[in-house]
Structure formats: C-alpha cells, structure tokens
Structure 1
Amino acid sequence: MAASPSPPRQFGYPWPEFNDGLVYHDLVPPRDAGLTLIQFYSSKYKSSAPLQGWLQRIKNKQITVDGNVVTDPDAVLRVGSELVYHRLPWKEPDAPYILEVLYEDNDMIALNKPSGMQVLPGGLFQQRTVLTQLQWHANKQSTISAHQSPHSVPVHRLGRGTSGILLCAKTKLAKARLASYFADGTSQIGGKRDTNKELGKIAKIYRALVSGIVNNDKVIINQPIGIVKYPGVATGLYVASQSGKPALSIVNVLERGIQGNNTLVQVQIESGRPHQIRIHLSFIGYPLLGDPLYTVGGQPKCLDCDSINERFAADGGYERPTKPVPGDCGYYLHAHQLVISHPVTNEVIEITAPLPSILQTNSEGKHTAIMQQAPA
C-alpha cells in the first residue's frame, strides 16, 4: 500500500558554530610495546594526519597516556597503557538541518533528506549529520514525554549531495531486518535474474539529470564497482572496475532536453554499491550534470590520483583535499520512490519523496529553462 497522505511534518535543530570535538581511545597491544608515542600514532593513523601533524597534536597537549598529558613524542609506550587523543572542536562546513518525515510507524521512519546533508559522521562532518538530528530529536521528545526514547538510526546511506528517501529503523528488530533486505538485494545482483520482474523485498527508484542525450529508451548497466586509492579518501574511492563487486542499474529515459544537451532519467536499483548511480551513468558516457568527481568511464576526473597532500591544518589533521571527493555536491540525484516489505508486518509499503523542480518532467510542472543550466 502507498504511505498514507498526511500533513508534512518536519523537525530539525540549528547547528552550533563549533562541534564538540572528538575523543579517540586506544589500548597499547603487546605488538606495539616499545614504540614511541609518535611512532604509534603516525603509523596507525597516518590517514588522519601526516607525521608533522601528529607532532603538532602532541605538542598541543591533545594526547594523554594513562590519564597524563604527554608532550614528548619519543615517550616509550607500555603494554596496556590507555592512550586518549582529543581532537579539538572545529567549525564544520555549512549544511542544511531540516528533515521532512515521509512515513512513520512504530518500527521505522522514512525521511526526505536534503542535498548537502551527510547521513553518518565522517571526514569534516562529525556533528552536522542526519544521525545527530535523530539523536537530538529523540532527546527533545524524551524531555516532552518524560521518558527516554531510543533514537532512530539510518539503515542505508545516501551521498551527501543526493536528496530524497532515507530509511531509518526505530527498533533493533526493524534495524536487523531492514539491513538484511539491503544486504540480500546486493548479494543477489551477481546471479541470473529477470530484470523485468519485481525486485526482492526492497526496490528504490531514483531521478537523475545527466549530461548528454541518452539515445536508448532503456539501458541495463551491470558494470562491477571496486575501490582504488585516492587522495583525501582514506578508505579508497569507488569506481567502475572489472575486478569489483557486481552491481545492477536499470535506466529509463523520461525526457530529453535537446536544447540543454541533458537527459532526465529514472534509475531503479535494489540496494546498490556506494555511488552506484553516479558511477554507472558516467560509465556509459552520461555523468550526472554537475558531478564534480566522476567522468566518462566511471572514473575520477583527476589523472594523478596517487599524489598526497601533506599540508595540515591547525589541529594537525590534513587540510581539505584540493581534488574533488565523493561528498562534494553539485549534481542532481534524488531517491524518489521506495517500495519495501514492512520489517514486522510484511505489508508492502510505498513511499514517495517530492521531486525537486529540476527533476520533474514537463508534464509534472518543471520549468524547462532550469534544465539548461548546470548547478553552480
């Protein structure tokens, strides 16, 4: 059944100017006994800061050993010592904070995530995330109702620049079952299947605006997606790769913008790999309009991706990468519809997130002039 129509409900709390910083705990294992403080951090967490950055953090009195501040980088560590690194508060980049509730029951909640809002903590965004807003909202509700309400948690991710439906679980049971839906769908993509049949227990339909005119009305993309080393992305960048994991996208053309040389498409995926739609559409020669990262072939735009920026900021960490990273915005991608078997009742639920005007067809009321201009 379709989600019951109801008056729009929103929540969101303004971000403070600075976040609270972060605290990282470590216990020295036997294999690291005898290492110096600087050897431990610069080798174990080299993706967080270069050597000189860790020296600065030690000098700044940001690290304690067994409760005592240590400023000597050559202090020798003992087995079982507790190390605590205090990351200083910082001003995170601007981000929206209002979330619209599309569907909610006792087990799950579906949100309309705005473009520019990160789902989970990572990189420069540790506080300005959907997860933080869910925590704050639960605390606010607990204050009103005088009992502690557990906060909801996202069960999948949307890219920071992607808008639309984000599904969150309100109970442990719902979280486990919803997570299994996504995992099962992804694991089945590599097998033989009829792509015209209904997809699993969860199906997601996206709208996207791509550069160029897509000639075929329907395109099925099954290009595998893998990881390569990339500056500014500690875990590596997802790209089109024959040695990667299987992925499936079904693309249908909705409208061709001849004058603007762009195409409005609908993309159906069952669960998906990270950045799957961006990678797949660029792989076939039609990257998302305004995508700062991916280009034709499903690869990053930069050619010298092995270069490393050793400059570090005031807190010792790496400066923001000069090259585009996955969280950069500017493209048009919207998680428009979700069809899912309810994790408890098994009832089929259909949820729809309103479309941004630029992703509407002419019959849906879009202003055609918008299609002819790329995002700033």
Structure 2
Amino acid sequence: MEQAAWFGTPWPEFNHGLIYTDTVKYAPSASPQSLLDFYSLRYKESASKQGWLQRIRNGQIHVDGNVIVTSDSILRNGACLEYVRHPWREPEVPFRLQILFEDDHLVAVNKPSGLQVLPGGLFQQRTVLTQLQWRSDSSDKQATHGIAALHEKDLWKPSPVHRLGRGTSGVLLCAKSPAAKSQIAADLAAGTSASSRSRCEDDSEAERQITKTYRALASGIIPTDEVVVDQPIGKVRYAGVAGGLYMACAGGKPSRSRVTVLQRNLIDNQSLVEVQIFTGRPHQIRIHLAAIGHPLVGDPLYLAGGQPRPLSTTAISRNLEEDLDPADDGGYQRPSFALPGDTGYLLHAWHLSFIHPVTTERMNIVAPPPPQLCAPHE
C-alpha cells in the first residue's frame, strides 16, 4: 500500500522527565544502608555524593510512596524506592525519517545521523522509537475499523529490531508485530553466532539470513583492495560510561568484518570503503577500522589500534542536561572527554538484505548514501 515518503513530529521543548525505581535487597550479612549511601554508592556515574544529597533535599526521592528528604534515613529490606528526574531539554537532533519500505509486518527507515534509536542517557524522548510510536498513535486515531481493531493495535507498537549508533545514518529495520520482531532477532543472532565460529573468508551471502553492508570514510590510504578483520571486541571499564566501553580487546568476543576499498583520496589522505559485518558487536566498524590503523575520519573516540583516546586529550564541554543547570537536579556535568555516542564521523548503513519473516522473500533495502560516501560514478 502507498505510504508517505517521510514522517516525523517536531520535538517538544522539554521531555516528561523519568522515574527510576529500585527495591532494597540486603544480603543476609549486610548492614542496613542510609538513603544517601544507597544511591551514592550504587549510582556513582549518575551523580556525586553531594549531587545525590541535593536530589534527596529537593524531594526527588520517594520511599514506599512517601517523599523522604532526610538523607540518613535507614532503609528497610524490601523498601520500594523512586528517583524522580525532572524534565529537561534534550540536545537538538533531527526528527524526520524517510520510509524505504513498509508492509503490514515491517517498516524500514533511513535514520539520519545524530538521532538515537532507543532511549538512553540524555536521549529519553528524542529517539527513532518515539517517532515510530507517535506515528502509530496518529494512525490509530485515524483508523475506522472499530474498537476491537483499535484495541488489538494498541497491544503492539513498531519497534527497531537492531541498532545503529547515534552518529550512523542509513537503513534501520523495525518490526510492526511481535512475531516479525522475534523472527528477525533470531536471524540476526544466528548470523552472529555462525560468523563467530567460522574463520573461513568465504562467507556466503546466499547462506546468511541477514547481511548488512555499510559505507564509511576512513583516515589514511588502505593499501589492499580488501581486508578481513577478525579483531575481538570486548568491554573495558571507562570513566563516564557506567557499563564499560567496547574496544579492541584480546579477550573480547569474536568479531568479523570485510572491508573493501572503493576509492583512495591521496590528496586528503582518506579511503572510501564498503564494510560488510558478519557479527553485530557495538561500534564494530569504528573499532575494526581503527584496529587496522584507519579510524573513521572525524571519530572523536577511537584511535588507531581500536583503543579510545586518552581521557585528557579531548575537550567537549556540555552540561549533562544541556540547558538545564545540573545544580537544579544534582547531576554531573558532561565529562570533558569523548563518549561512545558522540558524532562527527561518516558511517552509513547502505544496504540491508534479509529474509522476510512472513513471506520468506529475499528483501534488499538500500538507503542512498550522503555525497561524501558515494562511490565513483554513482
């Protein structure tokens, strides 16, 4: 059926804030904790001890449904906690998405660089997921198929089946039903598992349920026309990233990419490349190109070797909630070094090939690359 080529709703000035919940669970030999110690020890990346004290005094912490402003209150085992984070202005990002393909089961969109896929960190509202849900809600309001049909649709909202980095543009596949999402997720997992076990360079696309091909602009001149990168990728502790940072790591998970050079720019000392990934590790292309000595042009984080920049060499100064003074919420200021979500590089999910989860047809979705990533004669 015919669909509009583009969709998107402008972002409101403020999001709705967030409520984080916890349940107090003590080990048998543990001593009870104060409210301040519970938060400041468990969530050091969110705020300093002084910051958590400020949040408590602001009345932002509820214990068993009651606002508690006494920081040394002792928490009972099983207590239900809520931290209420005030609404804030999220950073400016694009809101319009181009539809590349859509049927009753799937929608593929061309994600712009700068727009996050799922909520996280600063971006809780300004995400692809939110725009998909708003579009679905708008369609529900216009539906004329009766109350039962509307109720059935409300049980499921479109949802991305994989991720692209915030700075990455291109094809993003989203499911419109639980069955479609489950099947695509299984195909993605099967492909990653098979490629992790195989060291064979003849990875047959015909035998893979899903293949993902990217365009990227790498620094330096890559001398060979094709390079297969098998650098493992692991997670290492890193300041400012609560769960750790992914990087080239000998003890990491098996990871595999094929890099094909499309053009060498001797004047600017850059290589336009096409990258097919056989595993789906976070930041895989950024790390793999850096690992072979050719990090993405403009990448603020990864250096040659696949390691992050030393913490003292970057200078990025923004408040954690942008225009919201951290003093209003007790939050940290944004670290002065690069983080994984920072943009500036050119990476585009150009081509996605997959087996349709319902029709079983082989689908090929292409997102036109930006001019800087167009191959000669395209």
Q: Which TM-score applies when normalising by structure 1?
A: 0.90
The corresponding residue for 2:13 is: 17
1:195 aligned to which of 191, 202, 219: 202
Shift of 1:194: 4.2
2:366 aligned to which of 336, 352, 357: 352
Unaligned runs of 5+ in 1: 365-376
Distance in 2 separating the partners of 1:256 and 1:218: 13
Q: Is 1:172–2:178 an aligned residue pair?
A: yes
1:155 aligned to which of 140, 161, 175: 161
Which is further off, 135-144 or 75-84?
75-84
2:36 aligned to which of 38, 43, 49: 38
Q: Is contact 2:272–2:373 with CA below 8 Å preserved after alignment?
A: yes
Unaligned runs of 5+ in 2: 145-149, 321-325
The corresponding residue for 1:339 is: 353
Q: Is contact 1:202–1:270 with CA below 8 Å preserved after alignment?
A: no
Write the deviation string for residues 232-285 of structure 1: whole angstroms up to 9, x where unpaired.
211111100110000100011111111111110000013410000000001101
Shift of 1:77: 1.2
Root mean square deviation of aligned Cα: 2.0
The corresponding residue for 1:362 is: 376
Q: Is contact 2:257–2:279 with CA below 8 Å preserved after alignment?
A: no
1:26 aligned to which of 19, 22, 25: 22
Q: Is contact 1:200–1:270 with CA below 8 Å preserved after alignment?
A: no
> Could you tell me which amino acid in structure 2 is paired with residue 28 of structure 1?
V
Write the deviation string for residues 156-178 of structure 1: whole angstroms up to 9, x where unpaired.
11000000011111111111111
Distance 1:33-1:69 versus aligned 2 partners, 3 A rule: farther
Task: Give secondary structure in 1 for the equivalent of 2:196.
Answer: coil
Q: Which TM-score applies when normalising by structure 2?
A: 0.90
Write the deviation string for residues 130-149 of structure 1: whole angstroms up to 9, x where unpaired.
11111111111111115253
Write the deviation string for residues 12-38 of structure 1: whole angstroms up to 9, x where unpaired.
111111111001122222437721111
Task: Give secondary structure in 2 for the equivalent of 1:210.
Answer: strand
Please give the residue correspondences for 1:34-113 in structure 2 after superposition, counting only pairs within 5 Å.
34-113=32-111
Distance in 2 separating the partners of 1:82 and 1:241: 39
Distance 1:326-1:339 versus aligned 2 partners, 3 A rule: same
> Could you tell me which amino acid in structure 1 is paired with residue 216 of structure 2?
A
Please give the residue correspondences for 1:126-275 in structure 2 after superposition, counting only pairs within 5 Å.
126-145=124-143, 147-148=150-151, 149=153, 150-192=156-198, 193-198=200-205, 200-275=208-283
Distance in 2 separating the partners of 1:190 and 1:84: 41
Q: Is 1:327–2:315 an aligned residue pair?
A: no
Which consecutive segments of 4 or more residues in structure 1 shift more than 6 A? none
Q: Is contact 1:240–1:297 with CA below 8 Å preserved after alignment?
A: yes
Write the deviation string for residues 36-88 of structure 1: whole angstroms up to 9, x where unpaired.
11111112222222211111100111011122111000011122322111001
Task: Give secondary structure in 1 for the equivalent of 2:354.
Answer: strand
Q: Is contact 2:312–2:337 with CA below 8 Å preserved after alignment?
A: no
> Could you tell me which amino acid in structure 1 is paired with residue 250 of structure 2?
Q
Task: Give secondary structure in 1 for the equivalent of 2:216.
Answer: strand
Please give the residue correspondences for 1:107-122 in structure 2 after superposition, counting only pairs within 5 Å.
107-122=105-120
Q: Is contact 1:185–1:202 with CA below 8 Å preserved after alignment?
A: yes
The corresponding residue for 1:367 is: none
Which is further off, 44-53 or 249-258?
44-53
Task: Give secondary structure in 1 for the equivalent of 2:72.
Answer: coil
Q: Is contact 2:105–2:180 with CA below 8 Å preserved after alignment?
A: yes
Shift of 1:151: 1.6
Shift of 1:190: 2.4
Distance in 1 separating the partners of 2:124 and 2:311: 30
> Could you tell me which amino acid in structure 2 is paired with residue 245 of structure 1?
K
Distance 1:358-1:33 versus aligned 2 partners, 3 A rule: same
Write the deviation string for residues 70-120 of structure 1: whole angstroms up to 9, x where unpaired.
100001112232211100111111110001111111111111000000001
Q: Is contact 1:164–1:353 with CA below 8 Å preserved after alignment?
A: yes
> Could you tell me which amino acid in structure 2 is paired with residue 165 of structure 1?
V
Distance 1:271-1:100 versus aligned 2 partners, 3 A rule: farther
The corresponding residue for 1:372 is: none
